[in-house]
Structure 1
Amino acid sequence: TDALNQRLSTMQQQILSRTRLQPIIERLGLYKDQVANKAPMEDLVAQMRKSITVTTVKSVGTSRQNEVPGFTIAFESDHARTAQLVCAEILSMFIDENIKLRAQAADSTTEFLQKQVEEAKRKLDEKDQRVAEFKRRYLGQLPGQEQSNMNILMGLSQQLEAVSQLLTRTHQDKTYAESLLAQQVAAWEASQQGSNPQTLETQLTALQNQLITLEARYTPDHPDVTKMKADIAQLKNKIDEANATTTRTSRPTRTKPRWPSSMSLRRSSNCEARSTSTK
């Protein structure tokens, strides 16, 4: 075939060069007489090159798909053994050169395909980037995104509802904390005014209001509820003690009657007698 002829021509240029044929001449001892007569090596190489014939043969096979192209190598020599050895050397070089050319072709093909793959990948990346940019620019406006947009909207609505509920609970907790703080401040200010039963009653009312609030938020066994009940009981005892002290202080005490002394009585009698005699 034309491809085989072209490949053979390329290989012959390499194999039939002086650098390839001279080692064969020296190794096999060819042209001993000419070498003895000191014939130039260039002449010996040219003579050997003329003695070598490379011919392509018809393809072997029953169909075009099974055809196997080939070639023959011939070398003219006076000795059959020498011709056989030279043909073996030339054939070995053709095989090696063919493998080398095929490897180079494979490398070239691989490099070409690699470049094609890289170019295709570059174009694909550019298209992907353009598609992504298009989607970003027209997000939510593309066909088939209605359901996705609805799902996103529902998710955002649920998040908004959760945040609103959290805000409401936080506001309630803030109001409760402010109320509790105000009651505690009032109770503290009242406690600084002494142990007046009226002041203690005010503290008791504040604590009872706090207890109502705590019982509405916690169970009866909650530590805050238990402590508040204990504080109320302690304050009630304090109120009872204060009331008892006030009662004892306000009760009237009996005092002995004061009688005028005898000297005062006698002085009064003398005064009366003196007054009578004067009359």
Structure 2
Amino acid sequence: MTIDLRFYLSLFIRRIHYFLICLAVGSAVGITLATVLPPVFKANAKLIVESEQIPGDLAATTVQTETTEQLQIIQQRILTRDSLLEMANRLRIYDAPAGEIATRLPADEIVEDLRDRIVISTTGGSSTRGPVQATIVEVSFEAPTALMSATVTNEVVTLILQENVEIRTSVAGQTLEYFNEEVSRLDQELATRGADILAFQERNLEALPDSLDFRRQQQSAAQERLAQVERDEAVLRDRRDRLTVLFESTGDIGGLNTPLSSQTPEQRQLQGLKDEMNTLLAVLSPENPRVKVMKAQIAALEVTVAAQTSAGFETSLAGVPLSPFEIQIADFDGQLAFLAAQKSTINATMEALRLSIEATPGNAITLDTLQRDYANLRAQYDQAVANRARAETGDTIEALAKGQRISVIEQAVPPRAPDRPNRTVVAAAGVGMGTLAGFALIVVLELMNTAIRRPIDLTSKLGITPFGTVPLIRTRWEIVRRQTIIFAGFAVAIVMIPALLWLIHAQVMPLDVILDRVKEKVGL
């Protein structure tokens, strides 16, 4: 099957007016948009994230936020509703040009529009593969004028620098403030715990574990003293009983039984001579001159002692003189009463020692708990003091801008040419769309037309072989009417469509806004 190019070319020429109308419409739309669309200027600025100026192993900052995270925080703070509205009012971004009527946009549309026009992009930084690259931040803003785009871009850069400094100094300051409060709190709690320990020790001064051995020694010594007092008491009672038996059996107590504390010097001398004589009689005979002399001395002293005793008897409460026996008994009773008082004192001391020794284990546990809590609190306090020192260093580093910082390496300048639209591309796109639409229209019309236009169509469809063909002959009126319709279509395409687009742009809504909304609807 051969393609009759001459036939298809004749069809195209026959319907070329449709093609030209579509081409005119597309070209008119493209040229009108290229002419009417306002210029959009885009200014760019570059920033770089610099690392710490002081090595971290010498003095570390307390701001540990990752670079990417910090840039995202800064971006979100800048793009908040209040910040954008304040910047729009301060820089008069949406003021109408001179000679035009200002149309005030709603606050929501202003915020949404600024978020679309402000672009903050980050490149570089740390990566899982490859070496670490410098983090570069690019800031751009689109505006109808070159000066406005540069002004807003530099304002965004200023906000980024301010937010970065504010975030880092705020974090460092809050860290230092926290550890100052923590150190103050722990210091007060340490003082309270120390006072509790001191008060407990003062309340239980006699039952603390550090004096347990001493109190046990005191208890042993008290037991020994008690045993000695009981022995002395038994001896005194025995002497008292023997003295009583002697007095009851003989009626006399004898000088030997007189206590030394109540004897006169003569009595003591007499007692000494008697003891010495008893010793001599054990080795010498009674006829020994020395023994005889000593007997004479003893007899003389006995006379003297008897005279002293009869002349110096004490008297009782009733005025009756006390006998030597009563004096001895009174002396024994006094000594026994003294020993009984000593026993009572020793027993009381031993009871107090017993109670304190029994209370010592419980006090030891309580004191150990208090001291352990104090030690743990002291460890927390020491750690907090060390952390506060590091926080002070970090705060100083951030105050002097020696930590991680963002620096401007390229300020935004007014661009010489608009970034978009590319008017040549827009016009060419309109021409291209018109061309494609013209070809598509001709193809569709021919596919829908089933009329017989060639002799071969008669043969293929009806099976008839014609003898000859007569072309369609139009009248003059038909030719004029057809040409009028074609020229009217051209007029509409060339004049009315651009005029309609301009009217919409000027009176209804700017075409760039319409195109942006169309893009949003279709998801472009």
- Structure number with the higher helix fraction is 1
After TM superposition, the score normalised by the length of structure 2 is 0.23
TM-score normalised over the length of structure 1: 0.39
Taking CA–CA contacts closer than 8 Å with sequence separation of 6 or more, which of the two structures ends up with the larger relative contact order?
2
